[in-house]
Structure formats: structure tokens, C-alpha cells
Amino acid sequence: MKENFEVYLKQVLQNSLVKPAEEMMEDCLKICIELAGAQGGSILAEEGPFLKFIFSNVATLIGVNVPWDSIAGNTARESIVIYTYAPTDKRHFEGIDGTIKHQTRYLLSIPIPSIHQAAEARTRVKTAGVLQLLFDENLFPDRDVTQGAVEFSLDDVKTQAHYEDTLQDVFWILPNISFGMEVMRLRQTSYQVIHELKNKLIAAQSWMNCLKEDLQDIHAELFEDETIKEDFELAESAAREGSKLAVNYLQLTKIYTPQVEDANLNDVLRRTAADMRVFASDLSGWPVEVRAELDDAVTIKRLDPDQLRMAFFNLCKNAVEALAEFKTPNALLLITSREEKRRTRIDILDNGPGMPEEIASNLFTAFKTKKQGGTGLGLTICKKIIDIHGGSIRCETSPAGTRFIVEI
């Protein structure tokens, strides 16, 4: 497999940029199995009092807990590489064999170093998880592990004769697995925290209304005081905007797990145009025409239609709101598609007054917004959705209008 390593490494790097962490790690596991010439493999991570299989080439293993006194547990706890013959190693967790319906023979258990260094310099490496590779034949014929396992520290294993021939390429992949595990943990933690924060802010709005009603019943004259009225309005506005920010952030976390299917971008754009016509008709005071001119040559691609529709809707919504706000004569939002060299180009353009440079230069930066009541996450979410689809987005703006150009 040595001659294919550069191809594998390029694939891993590309996947780390455009794929969700889960898919990237699954690909890394497959590559490690192939590089080592193994018959199977798994990635385990700490979850409460157990290690848990989070990825495996055997689907039924995913979610199975493994005790800390197992081979995987020793690998993680001691940060050591263990190579053993499972049938004679008392640490082998036999519940695995029943699940995979196969007798585990030779087992290579490798700690995945954490991207966070240990607090004390040069002490035992902090472990993010464990990579286990299974072999039907002895990976190292000159070592008889049927009578006892061989164990190495991460430094020592690199001095072994078999390292360069068999394991070096696998070790090159470990940092990407560690990075993916960290992304998963951060996303899960942030999702839980923000979700709870959203619930608290919604509850705060409800209790604010209750307090307001109670005070009106007891001291209605208080609400004749402009300062008290303003204080309540500011408190309600802060809770409402905080809740909106939390909802937008939750949207941002969800886009890392796209639901991909065969789809046509033209269908997504037609639905977006229809939604925008309804949205524009609800805007009071100014008519905006929404038109779609789509290229029939656009091909089927692997997409998440719902996420892309959300991205395009946000881009169009900003344009329609600007056209109405500035009362643009003959206001027009035009959506076009064109197939170009196996990529699809989508233009979303309006004939509004354009944007100032300080706004245009920060369009896709989180929390940068000039819109009253905005969160600054809308266009950040758009860009991330398009990034995940392997696409690009840019903006051109002038006093004659604004054009967003998306290529997928």
C-alpha cells in the first residue's frame, strides 16, 4: 500500500476540509485498515465510565461499550501500543466476538493522541481515543504474541523495525482522526449548551410577560412611566434577540451533518423562487418581482436540498428586504443557473443600491451585521453550507445592484 499513501493522504486532507467530521473519520478508518492490510478495524472514544465503539467496519459494533480493564482500556489509559493474540490475552473483551460473529485473532491497539497536549511537558501523551486493527495472520512473524502481548510507548514504537514498513503511514492519519473527534465533542457540547440557553431565554420571555401582567394588575399606573416601559421593552428585546441568536447557532451546528441525495439544483432554485414570491408579497409597502431563469443543462448532483434551499433563501431574503427598504424602482430579484464544465453556477442578483464596502468586506464573518435585530450568522451559515458541498460563493456589489455568485 506504500505506493498509494500519497493518494490516501491527499484524500484525507480534502475530506477534512469539505466533509463533516463523522464522514472524514469513517474514511480515515477505512484508509488505516487498507494501509495496514488489516481485515477490520474500529475507533473507540471515552464516554462516561466506558470506552465506546464510535466507528467500525462492522456496523453492529457501533455503540457497544468496552470496559476499562480491556485491551482498548489499557491502550487509552497508559497511552501504549498493544499488539496481542486475543484468544490468549485475558484482557480481550469477548463480548466483541459475539457481536461480530468472528473470533478475534491478532489485534493491534493504538492510542490516538489528543490534539491537546498533556499539562506537564514531556509526560504521558493525553489520549483522545483508540484505533484497533484486526488481523487473521500475524502482522509481525518474528514475534510470537500467543504467549503474551508486546507493548510499546508511542516513542518506542517508532524505533521498531516494523514501524516504517507497516505502521508509519497509519500514524500519519491519527492526527486527522483526533481532530475529527475533537470537532464532534465540541459540536455536541456546544449544541447542548446553546439548546439549553435557548430554552432559558424563551422561558425568560414568558416570565417577563407574566411579571408585566402582574404589575399591571397591581400597579397599572407604573406603566405610565416612560422609563419603566422602556426598561421592559429593552429586557424583552434582549431575551428575544438572544433566543433568535441561539436558534441560528443551532442551525449552524446542524449543517455539519448533511442528508445527501441525488438532486437537481434547478429544483432547489424553483422552490426557493416560489418561497421568495410569497415572502415578497408579505412585505408591506413595496412590490418586488422575483424571477428565475434556469438552464435545462444543469445535471443531477449529490446534494442536501434542504440545506441548500436554506442557504439560497437567506441570500434572496436579504436582497428582497433591501429592495423594499430602499424602495427601489421596478425592484427585481433574479435567480439564474448555468452549467459550466461539470460545475453549476448560480447567480442571485438584484437591482438595488448595492452595499457599502465595510459591509461587503465582512459578509461571511460571524456576528458582523449592520441589520437591526440581526444576529450576523445568516450569511456565515450560507457559506458553510456551500463549503460543505465543495462549492464557493462570492459577492459583487455596486450602485447598480448586488450579485451573489455560487459555484457547486
> Is the CB of residue 131 less than 8 Å from the CB of residue 171?
no
Q: What does the pLDDT average to over 75-101? A: 85
Specify the pLDDT at position 118: 46
Specify the pLDDT at position 119: 43
Helices 305-325 and 378-388 meet at what angle, rounded to 10? 150
Smallest CA-to-CA distance from 199 within 238, 247, 233 is with 247
DSSP class per residue in 366-383: TT---STT--S-HHHHHH
CA dihedral 194, 195, 200, 203 (to 10 degrees): 140
Task: Give the model confidence (pLDDT) of 2-39 as tens digits.
Answer: 556 666 666 666 666 556 777 888 889 999 998 888 99
Q: What does the pLDDT average to over 70-76? A: 93
Pairing of strands 332-340, 289-293: parallel
Q: What does the pLDDT average to over 349-378? A: 71
Beta bridge partners of 405: 347, 394
Is 90 exceeded by the pLDDT of residue 198? no
Is 80 exceeded by the pLDDT of residue 382? yes
Higher pLDDT, 247 or 236: 236
Residue 291 confidence class, pLDDT cut points 50, 70, 90: very high
Task: Give the model confidence (pLDDT) of 103-132 as tens digits.
Answer: 889 999 999 988 775 444 445 567 889 999
> Is the CB of residue 273 less than 8 Å from the CB of residue 230?
no
Across the chain, mean pLDDT equals 83
Q: What's the rounded Cα separation, in Å, for the pair 109 and 72?
A: 6
Task: Give the model confidence (pLDDT) of 117-171 as tens digits.
Answer: 544 444 556 788 999 999 999 988 888 999 899 998 888 888 877 777 778 888 8
Q: What does the pLDDT average to over 202-223? A: 84
**Residue type (1 letter), 270:** R
Is 50 exceeded by the pLDDT of residue 76? yes
Beta bridge partners of 113: 127
Specify the pLDDT at position 219: 84
Specify the pLDDT at position 16: 60
> Is the CB of residue 344 less than 8 Å from the CB of residue 352?
no
Which residues in 36-184 belong to E strands, given as ranges? 40-47, 50-56, 65-66, 80-85, 106-113, 127-135, 150-153
Q: In what order do the strands lie in the sheet with 392-398?
A: 289-293, 332-340, 343-350, 401-407, 392-398
Higher pLDDT, 222 or 31: 31
Specify the pLDDT at position 196: 73
Pairing of strands 50-56, 65-66: antiparallel
Is 60 exceeded by the pLDDT of residue 376? no
Q: What's the rounded Cα separation, in Å, for the pair 167 and 160?
A: 10
> Is the CB of residue 150 less than 8 Å from the CB of residue 83?
yes
Is 50 exceeded by the pLDDT of residue 255? yes
Q: What's the rounded Cα separation, in Å, for the pair 92 and 104?
A: 9
How far CA 401 is from CA of 319, 320, 333, 351, in Å, comes to: 10, 12, 10, 4
Phi first, then psi: what are they for 169, rounded to 5°? -65, -35
Is 60 exceeded by the pLDDT of residue 304? yes
Q: What's the rounded Cα separation, in Å, for the pair 290 and 278?
A: 10
Specify the pLDDT at position 251: 64
Name the most confidently modeled range: 58-62, 78-82, 186-190, 375-379. Answer: 78-82
Higher pLDDT, 227 or 338: 338
Burial (CB count within 10 angstroms: exposed 0-12, middle 13-18, buried 19+), residue 141: exposed
Q: What does the pLDDT average to over 276-281? A: 88
DSSP letter at 124?
S
Is residue 293 classed as helix, strand or coil in its secondary structure?
A: strand
- The count of other CB atoms within 10 Å of the CB of residue 310 is 19
Which residues in 117-218 belong to E strands, given as ranges? 127-135, 150-153
Which residues in 255-366 belong to E strands, given as ranges? 261-264, 289-293, 300-303, 332-340, 343-350
Reported pTM: 0.53
Phi first, then psi: what are they for 311, rounded to 5°? -65, -50
**Residue type (1 letter), 339:** E
Q: What's the rounded Cα separation, in Å, for the pair 406 and 408?
A: 7
**Residue type (1 letter), 11:** Q
Q: What's the rounded Cα separation, in Å, for the pair 18 and 273?
A: 27
